[in-house]
Structure 1
Amino acid sequence: MMDDDSLDFLDEDDTETGPVRAWKILIVDDDPDIHDVTELALTGLEFNGRGLQFLHAYSGQEARDVIAAQPDIALVLLDVVMESDHAGLDVVEYVRNVLGNRFIRIILRTGQPGQAPEIEVITRYDINDYKHKTELTRQRLFTTIYTGLSAYRDLMALDANRRGLEKVIDASARIFELQSLERFAQGVIEQLCALLFLEDDAVMLHASSMAAADCEPALRILAGSGRFQSLVGSDASEALDADTLSKIHKARDEGRLIFQSHQIAAVQSAAADQGSFVVYVESDTPLEEAAQRLVEMFCRNVSIAWRNLRSMNRNQTDAGDAG
């Protein structure tokens, strides 16, 4: 077991990572040539270590169907005039007011600016940019997409952080309920992923303080996201792959935070009679030094909260046994 002041990083030369998800970009225009030119102009663009996946719609109705079916679209390049003079504006109304999607970045494009006056559109509709097709050179299109994706990433991270914080607060309020530790664990990994702009996989494991001869203590998965979500409640030694387990065991055995190119295995301890827990995260991109320090500070604070939760649960159990 390690104390709260002994967190450390151990660099490893491990660069293996899973498939990287692309940012979804929806191109909406009734002119097929616009789709081809736009996709060609954006070829090779990456943001935050992730490329682009292009989706296509050729009418306002098609756009509504695609966005409703795929709510994780990050940005839409939306023509104003298609099957009607206001088809694009109708899509904006549908996305914002019917679907309630406030995250997707909407860039209006028009080849007929007189059909939809810029000032009126910007003040009336919840759009994020308004461009004339003639002004969107390759360089300006790059800038527009990059800025839009940056805003989308930040909004999604803030929302994930809010949802994670709600779970932690709820766990504190419901501390005497059976699932409080599990809910707290789920909130922790959601906040950590949001903190680092991670949208991939994280798992929190609980290592019991009881050991049997010639065998490892049991590891039970308390919370998970991404590829670990379906494993909650399972024995980690049976549910996790050998590579993931090796990183987790290394963190627990050495009592330190293991940072590798795309993975984090953070071990935190409570008092000797309260066990320890491990947080394991897989990211799309390597973490910079500043992000590593952020993980360290986050884990220190989480350790204190975890110890308090465990103490309160133990006190409740003791009180129940005495009664």
Structure 2
Amino acid sequence: MPHNDVRPDNAGSTPPKPPFKILIVDGDPALLATVREALAGVSVDGAAVQPMGAATAAEAREALYDHPGIALVLLEVALETSRAGLDLVTHIRDVLGNQRTRLVLCPADPGAVSEAEVTAGSDIGDCRAKAELTARALRILVVGQLRVFASLQALAAGRKGLARMLVATTGLLELRTPDTLFPNILPRVVGLLGIGHHALLCIQGDTLPRDRKIRVRASTGRFSAWRDVEVEALGEARVEAALARLTPASETIVEPDFCALRLRANGGITGMIYVEGRNDGTAREWQLLELFRNKCSIAFENALLFEELNTSQKATVLAMGSLAEYKDNAASGHLQRVEKLVGAIARELLQRGQFGDELDADYVEKVGLAALLHDVGMLSVSDETLGMPGELATDDMQAIRRHTEIGHRILSEAALALRGRSLLSIAAEIARYHHERYDGTGYLEGLKGDAIPIGARIMAVADVFDALITSRQYRGAVPVEQALGWIVERSGRDFDPRVVDAFVTVVRRLQAEDPGWFPKSGGQHGMLGGLIGRKLRALFGGRAEAL
């Protein structure tokens, strides 16, 4: 672990501390004058002392409201009444709830206050007869009480800091992906510091080949327009200089006008956080940031590992799903389109609040990728059957239909080692049931309606639509509008009407946002194209011949 100096980098350049405010409550102005003279030029732990006066308990109440940070009250007991000073003590402690301000009774008549009243529980710091308060005695008394106040303030600030730390780090490790973690880190560190909302989260070394470029991945405040750009393009020399100072030997930097953190990760990737704003630059703030940085570094590394795992998983799934297409040495984009359609339809249904017993955010995140494996069982079908021209014999068609059962067996056996509803278990359901029909006339089991898993119902629509809008050996591509109409016409018979309605919304959105996403008409699709065409005709009978 690298060593970090426990002091902020700017220990010699911190702004001056605010003065300690002292309230002298006495109808006789002599005590206030004595205090001012005695404390002229006195400082406590680098902070000056600022006396202020009040002639009555009522004036003292106003001063306490106007200056809630008063550190010490020197208080005559006999004010408007002989007990007004003691009533003011009760007001400060019980009504205002102020337990930090130090209270010292300074009666002109020492017999006006009993020992029991001083020690009864109102946390009175001392009781000194006014006649005893020489300049020397005042300095000793005031400095001692102010140090007690400063200690209480530090304890309270520590508690607040720990509370802010708990808020800032709660749930941090549950943000498993960079896309969810990075935007959530900045509000947390800004809230921890309370110094402003102008912040950047940057990554170095996250592109291949590895380089030293620093790129913005999340931003807030005046930087919010900058995303996925290099820091040097910002034109912010101070930001570049601050990030350049972050090294393994200096991972937490606190300056009067900014803070910066370095997040460690394996594989040569480094995260950097920059927060702009005025702060007190104290060692306490540095320690809070250091604690946060350590927690954040763990979450940062976990998110990058999770992203790498997801990327590897997707590459593996895509490779498995592409094997059938590679039988014809053709990369049609069928799988990528199906993945996008299935995922988008599932998200649309989730947003509509439909299928709540089956759909949730975790399922929607996995189902598009799981759909890539819908035809993995087709690997069991011989090349001779796949390449056979014209209509297939009964045995050959049965061999093709068994691909759903074989795919399900392969995927469900692989999913046994995984807990819960995994990507492979979802893929197994889709593989087995994506040729079922809503009215119960499909295969393998002739399931009907909601008995068909929702992933398979979504897959049925997406798979058939993509088969229709791409060219086949026996026909050209069907125009998108005609394919839409064909599927809508069979809503309630072949397809779930709710899925079809969400599907139409998704296609319309794609047409508006990315019209080039749909494949162009023309061209041949080889052996796999003929196979999908036969699957369509086997599933829908003569009604598919016109397509």
Does TM-score exceed 0.5, indicating one fold?
A: yes
Q: CA deviation at 1:309?
A: 3.1
Counterpart pick for 1:53 among 40, 50, 53 = 50
SS state at 1:5 partner: coil
User: Residue 203 of structure 2 corresponds to which residue in structure 1?
Assistant: 209
Counterpart pick for 1:168 among 143, 165, 171 = 165
User: Residue 156 of structure 2 corresponds to which residue in structure 1?
Assistant: 159
User: Residue 73 of structure 1 corresponds to which residue in structure 2?
Assistant: 70
User: Residue 270 of structure 1 corresponds to which residue in structure 2?
Assistant: 264
SS state at 2:106 partner: strand
Q: CA deviation at 1:22?
A: 1.0
| Identity within the alignment, % | 24
SS state at 1:277 partner: strand
Moved more, 77-86 or 299-308: 299-308
SS state at 1:256 partner: coil
Q: 1:181 to 1:63 in 2, by over 3 A?
A: same
Identify the structure with the greater helix proportion.
2
Counterpart pick for 1:306 among 296, 302, 305 = 296
Counterpart pick for 2:221 among 233, 236, 248 = 233
SS state at 1:252 partner: coil
Q: 1:10 to 1:248 in 2, by over 3 A?
A: farther
Specify the code of the residue in structure 2 equivalent to 1:235: F
SS state at 2:52 partner: strand
Q: 1:68 to 1:264 in 2, by over 3 A?
A: same
* CA–CA separation in structure 1 for the residues paired with 2:301 and 2:248: 25
* CA–CA separation in structure 1 for the residues paired with 2:120 and 2:237: 53
1:185 and 2:189 matched:
yes
Q: CA deviation at 1:30?
A: 0.5
1:38 and 2:35 matched:
yes
Counterpart pick for 1:23 among 14, 20, 27 = 20
SS state at 2:221 partner: coil
Q: CA deviation at 1:121?
A: 2.3
Unaligned runs of 5+ in 1: 191-200, 222-231
User: Residue 147 of structure 1 corresponds to which residue in structure 2?
Assistant: 144
Higher relative contact order (CA 8 A, sep 6+): 1
Give the conservation status (yes or no) of the 8 Å contact 2:168–2:189.
no
1:137 and 2:127 matched:
no
User: Residue 225 of structure 1 corresponds to which residue in structure 2?
Assistant: none
Give the conservation status (yes or no) of the 8 Å contact 2:201–2:273.
yes
Deviations 1:50-89 (A, max 9, x none): 1012221110111011112221111111111111111111
Give the conservation status (yes or no) of the 8 Å contact 1:24–1:54.
yes
Give the conservation status (yes or no) of the 8 Å contact 2:200–2:275.
no
* CA–CA separation in structure 2 for the residues paired with 1:50 and 1:99: 25
Give the conservation status (yes or no) of the 8 Å contact 2:201–2:218.
yes
Q: TM-score, normalised by structure 2?
A: 0.44
Deviations 1:249-268 (A, max 9, x none): 45237962688997895542
Specify the code of the residue in structure 1 equivalent to 2:272: S
* CA–CA separation in structure 2 for the residues paired with 1:188 and 1:55: 34
SS state at 2:100 partner: coil
* CA–CA separation in structure 2 for the residues paired with 1:140 and 1:243: 54
Give the conservation status (yes or no) of the 8 Å contact 2:165–2:192.
yes
User: Residue 121 of structure 1 corresponds to which residue in structure 2?
Assistant: 118
